[in-house]
Amino acid sequence: MVSHGSLERLRTANRRALVSLLGAEGPMSRADLARGTGLSRTTVSTLIGELIASGHVTETTVRGRPHKGGSGRPPLLVALATPPGVVAGIDVGHRHVRVALSDRSAAVLAEQVESVDVDADGGAALDRVAEIVTTLLATSGFGREELHAIGMCVPAPLDRRSARVGTGILPGWRDLPPAEELRRRLDVRVVVVDNDANLGALAEHSRGAAKGVADIIYVKIASGVGAGIVLGGRLHRGATGIAGELGHVQVDEDGQVCRCGNRGCLETLVAAPRLLELLQPAYDEPLTEERVLALDAEGDAGVRRVLGDAGRAVGRALADLCNSLNPERIVLGGSLGTSGSLGEGVRTSLTRFAQPDTAAALQVVPGRLGDRAEVLGALALAISRSATL
């Protein structure tokens, strides 16, 4: 028997999904909201009615186009109400911090990125984040009281029970609750923190390469490897918030020790630093991720071989996940996500190791949002939580 509390949590999650999609996309019809979130039209109509009554959503006088060019009456569009004030999105990477401000219709007003040693000292990194947010508010003409919510991603698993970063990945963040710490520094009531791959998935799903697709896996390949999973139009975080830790699937029981403490994780073979380490002895010039992507596009044999091997390893791990979840699209993100050789390697392994019907239903595409995917996902998360839903 489903409890009243469980039903209310589901309704809250569904309302947030609708608000997030409207925040990312702007005015939409109820039918398009149903397609974008995977909810039934009846559920969407009921929840939109509640959101209109509460003042969070408004019905416009603008009419959209019938689905797929049909000849029916053009549908009325609904839009997210845009009360005054702003939200902040924060992308905390291993070596950088990116902060963006937007209004609650998701229009970005200001953005700043800095190189920061995030891993060593979480407190110092959050101090710098707070300074950047304060500076962007001032230069954009907003007071601290006009900042209504913050969404932030961290490059590590986040335990939903303790609200703390998982041990092993960010040693300088041990026992640090990032949401609570940032809330204290900026005196903002709503601060929501999630894993970077989850928010990359949210952004690509709402406004990028998986727009309108209900079931996707977003794979971030950069200094680490992670996956964000969207099922039925909503992020799937799992029981404790660590669903999608693809980089820590064991692929070699006698392999290198991983930073998570296990041995032979996928990340030890295919993360960007490892691939640069493999390639560098064969090249006279210092290699960066950007240079490797350029060499791949130019058809360099060594780079194409290494990235192709990496893609096949990622695809092999993904095949089992795809057999279980049967997604429609895989989006490759992170600093190496646009590599043609890596993408081809992923496709090769999926064709070989996934069930034939599963593989036939899959598209593998590069992300469209580049290194801004995570901060845009953080903004979408902040918008969805900025209203009391």
- What 3-state class would DSSP assign to 81? coil
Can you spell out the DSSP letters for 303-325?
HHHHHHHHHHHHHHHHHHHHHHH
User: Which domains does the chain show, CATH number per domain?
Assistant: 4-80 (1.10.10.10), 86-198+373-386 (3.30.420.40), 209-368 (3.30.420.40)
pLDDT at 137: 96
Beta bridge partners of 87: 102, 149
Angle at the Cα of 202 (from 388 to 117), degrees rounded to 5? 100
Q: CA-CA distance, 54 to 185, in Å (whole number)?
A: 31
**Residue 368 and residue 98: Cα distance in Å, rounded?**
18
Residue 127 has which token pair?
């101090």
289, 336 contact by CB (below 8 A): yes
Give which of 287, 245, 280 is closest to 266, Cα–Cα.
Answer: 245
**pLDDT less than 50: residues of the chain:** 388-389
- Give residues with Cβ within 8 angstroms of 27, minimum separation 6: 60, 62, 64, 77, 78, 79
pLDDT of the residue at 166: 67
Per DSSP (E only), the strands in 234-351 are: 234-236, 329-333
* pLDDT on residue 296: 97
State how beta strands 147-154 and 86-92 pair: parallel
Q: What residues contact 209, with CB distance under 8 A and at least 6 apart? A: 329, 331, 365, 366, 367, 368, 369
d(CA 366, CA 336): 9
Which positions ≥6 away from 1 have C-beta within 8 Å? none
Output the pLDDT for position 83.
Answer: 67
Exposed/middle/buried for residue 50 (C-beta within 10 Å: 0-12, 13-18, 19+): middle
Tokens 């609904």, residue?
Answer: 78
Give the residue among 153, 163, 167, 158 at the shortest CA–CA distance from 94.
153
Longest CA pairwise span in the chain (Å): 66
d(CA 366, CA 219): 10
The crossing angle, in degrees rounded to 10, of helices 4-25 and 41-54 is: 80
Condensed to tens digits (0 to 9), the pLDDT of residues 186-238 reads: 999 899 999 999 999 999 998 899 988 989 999 999 989 999 999 988 889 98
pLDDT of residue 222: 93
Sheet holding 76-80, edge to edge: 28-29, 76-80, 57-63
pLDDT value at residue 389: 46
Report whether 350 contacts 62 (CB < 8 A): no
The three-point CA angle 347-349-354 to 5° equals 100
Which residue from 149, 19, 171, 160 is spatially nearest to 87, judged by alpha carbons?
149
Q: What is the pLDDT of residues 267-289, one digit of tens each?
A: 999 999 999 999 999 999 999 99
Helix, strand, coil abundance in the chain, percent, nearest 5: 45, 20, 30
